[in-house]
Structure 1
Amino acid sequence: MDLAFSKEDEAFRQEVRQFIEESYTPEMRAKHARSKHGYMDKENHVKWQKALAKKGWLAPNWPTEYGGPGFTASQKYIFDVEMGRAGVPHTIPFGPTMVAPVIMKFGTPEQKKRFLPDILETNVLWCQGYSEPGAGSDLASLQTKAENKGDHYLVNGSKIWTSVAQWADWIFCLVRTSKEGKPQEGISFLLIDMKTPGVKVEPLVLLDGTPGPHQEVNQVFFTDVKVPIENRIGEENKGWTYAKYLLEFERGNPYSAGLYRGLNKARKMAKETMVDGGVLADDPEFKARVADLESQIIAMEFTELRIFSALSTGGNVGPESSLLKCRGTEIQQAVSQLAVEVLGHYTIPFVEDGMIETNEPDIGPKNAFTVAPYYFSLRKASIYAGSNEVQRNIMAKAVLGL
């Protein structure tokens, strides 16, 4: 594999850096630096995504026929790396990264015309209705029911752990439309307007003090919600096929740039942490742990290069997305644990409203209060999008042929 970048690629890198410098405002930087989960407030997050949309970069994986930028494989890689290095907010993925590819592949022409432009411009925000109180990693056991009434479905049930549902305009849902045959065979894929009567969003209160400026997850309740038949993607009872296709995009994302940034942050904090008359950054054991993590991130980076370069031929990430998801989340957790250990007792103070301006000084290093919440939040990373145990089974079967 030739990893040398052309002059055109390096010029594109400078273009990305200039865009970040101009569009990622000081207000956004301050908000994001004090976020416990990676989201800013809704106003600034939408403002950031609209800046990306105006540049034509909100959906770098989209085909040009639907408004994608037409990045080459090297440009896509450079774009991801520079965004990760700058630590900009992640695009809320549920619209452009998850449901949009499903609409492109399985939606009707009318659905594509109706939904894709608004997703691309961040005129609407989406959330994901998959998990339920009794159906998490065992997603096929979901029980939210949708009765076919001829011109509409009547939906009853609930979805849980629904990120940013408090902001969302639409939700894409897996619902049970039949109990015959295998559980996977009776599931359909619906697009539901969150303003529909009978839809209710309740925040889930976590240890970080949410609801509040750091609210992330919710439970969504459906009580006799009428969903037009034309809001179904594909065929009735074939939703499991579309759900599996979507999960390739949920899992197949690059991690290495963000991992480098997290490790460098831990290094920087270690230079400010005194231990045994010196700084922690000079401790041999700390250096060894950093070197080990860095070697894992390098291996991750080259794996991403190999997998994502295959996309230039028009293929999907495929089952290899499980590999990225497993290793990426495991290294994420290891890096966040190192950061907690570096800060020590400075991770203990609890700050409820970190994104609200205050005259009170931080306890310990600047913004140290986000380190522990981020560590605890990342415990979920090896569970969401299909637990890592499930991903290993997928790799064993689909990649290794076992």
Structure 2
Amino acid sequence: MRMVLTQELEVWRAEIREFLDTELLKENAFNPEFDDAPEQWAIAVEFSKKIAAKGWIGLTWPEEYGGKGLTPVANQILLEELYAADAPLINSVGIFLAAGTILVGGSEEQKKRLLPDIANMRTLWAEGLTEPEAGSDLGSLQTKAVREGDEWVITGQKAFTSWGPMSDVLYVAARTATDVASSNAISIFVVDLRSPGVTLHPMRNYGGGVQSSTYLDHVRVPKTSLIGEEGKGWQYIMRAFYASGTVEPIYAMQESRLRDLIAHCKTVEGKLDDPHVQADLAELAGIIQTQRLMAYEIIGNNANGRKTPWDGGIQQIAAKEYEPLFAQIYDRVLGPTSQLRSGSSYAPLNGKPEAWYRQSFANHAGGTSQLKRMVLATRGLGLAR
């Protein structure tokens, strides 16, 4: 597939690349989701603030809330270039999930108070959705929020809180009613992580990133911490995950890695003449192009008012199931040395493929692919649950 962009968008892509060439040193290119040692995190924060200073956070938001009011295609081009360069942009929970919720359901006061702080990287958000007994099924969450006067009292436990120790606030989904259907019982709150009653227990995941078990023990927050309307949390979350118009361009990152793989193969005599290698490289290219086509179909549907409740679900299923497949084929081309870690003189591509393989399975964020299939069946096809 060949994407034909307007001259204006080509100039925009060139501007982003020039910025990255100038501001992103090669040694500072990494994924902060899995490489978050203190010195690396400091680099990520500094780089992210440079992106914010350009006004590139919330590119599609209205200008009065700290955005630029640009098109979803322009935003996708920015994300593609950041992913392709392995740029360490942080605060994805704030930029996408929290901001999406605030834009859709937040009051005017909340939009003006919360969004500029996200746009300028002044407030970092962590995610408080998953629970020990309610993983991908948010309808089963048990965290409760009870109204007491001008405050809400929140009690519960969250699991797999990404970047908890580095963040300022927590995006919390809590049950505010017990006598109504799950879809009308969940509300969204912003909780200061320094509040009394908040405890984080960090742990490392298989991919190398830090996630936390988060305990909320009768945490008191002001009534203004409720984002949007009470009982509308389910709709806000579904909108953010499936109909936001933003598509995570994992394919751009994979395309960059494929170029590195081909360059490596050229250094090994006869490698590119092997028909098995040729077939594997072609399959990797097909995975990339399939995801790109789906991404732009979703963006085009949203930009032209053809919104469907299942577009995001389809794309996320593909992305989550292609990630480990891409890594497996990639390592098959490299051979057994792909299992060697960085630091070994025998490790190809500086040992990065070994880490990429582990990280490819850490794709549960936003729900597993099995859950996405269930959502696609019920929301997209109208099948019974």
Which TM-score applies when normalising by structure 2? 0.88
1:50 is displaced (CA, Å) by: 0.9
Segments ≥4 residues shifted beyond 6 Å: none
SS of the residue corresponding to residue 196 of structure 2 reads coil
In the alignment, which residue of structure 1 is the partner of 2:34? 37
In the alignment, which residue of structure 2 is the partner of 1:356? none
Deviations 1:95-130 (A, max 9, x none): 111101211221122222221111110011101100
Q: Which amino acid aligns with 1:306?
A: E
Is there any run of 5+ residues in structure 1 with no aligned partner, and where? 209-213, 352-360
Q: Does 1:375 align with 2:366?
A: no
Answer with 365-374 or 386-395: which moved more: 365-374
SS of the residue corresponding to residue 213 of structure 2 reads strand
Deviations 1:32-77 (A, max 9, x none): 28x7826572211111111111111122232334222233354334
In the alignment, which residue of structure 1 is the partner of 2:186? 187
- What does 1:303-382 align with in structure 2 at a 5 Å threshold? 303-313=294-304, 318-349=309-340, 361-365=343-347, 368-381=350-363
1:307 is displaced (CA, Å) by: 1.9
In the alignment, which residue of structure 2 is the partner of 1:254? 249
Answer with 244-253 or 385-394: which moved more: 244-253
SS of the residue corresponding to residue 161 of structure 1 reads strand
In the alignment, which residue of structure 2 is the partner of 1:354? none
The answer to whether the 8 A contact 1:187-1:238 is kept is: yes
The answer to whether the 8 A contact 2:16-2:81 is kept is: yes
Cα gap change, 1:300/1:46 in structure 2, threshold over 3 Å: closer, same or farther? Answer: same
Q: Which amino acid aligns with 1:340?
A: D
- What does 1:227-246 align with in structure 2 at a 5 Å threshold? 227-246=221-240
In the alignment, which residue of structure 1 is the partner of 2:16? 16
Answer with 184-193 or 166-175: which moved more: 184-193
Answer with 104-113 or 310-319: which moved more: 310-319
1:217 is displaced (CA, Å) by: 1.1
Q: Does 1:263 align with 2:287?
A: no
In the alignment, which residue of structure 2 is the partner of 1:7? 7
Distance in 2 between residues matched to 1:36 and 1:141, nearest whole Å: 27
1:343 is displaced (CA, Å) by: 4.2
Superposed CA RMSD: 2.8
The answer to whether the 8 A contact 2:341-2:347 is kept is: no
Aligned residues, how many?
380
Deviations 1:124-143 (A, max 9, x none): 11011000111101221111
Distance in 2 between residues matched to 1:321 and 1:377, nearest whole Å: 22
The answer to whether the 8 A contact 1:177-1:237 is kept is: yes
Distance in 1 between residues matched to 2:354 and 2:43, nearest whole Å: 24
In the alignment, which residue of structure 1 is the partner of 2:163? 164
Is there any run of 5+ residues in structure 2 with no aligned partner, and where? none
The answer to whether the 8 A contact 2:44-2:89 is kept is: no
Answer with 122-131 or 292-301: which moved more: 292-301
Distance in 1 between residues matched to 2:170 and 2:306, nearest whole Å: 27
Q: Does 1:393 align with 2:374?
A: yes
The answer to whether the 8 A contact 1:251-1:325 is kept is: no
Deviations 1:248-290 (A, max 9, x none): 3498433321221232233334445x6xxx4544321121021
Q: Which amino acid aligns with 1:218?
A: S
The answer to whether the 8 A contact 1:131-1:160 is kept is: yes
Deviations 1:137-161 (A, max 9, x none): 1221111122221211222221111
Distance in 1 between residues matched to 2:180 and 2:311, nearest whole Å: 29
- Counterpart selection for 1:291 from 282, 287, 298: 282
Distance in 2 between residues matched to 1:25 and 1:142, nearest whole Å: 43
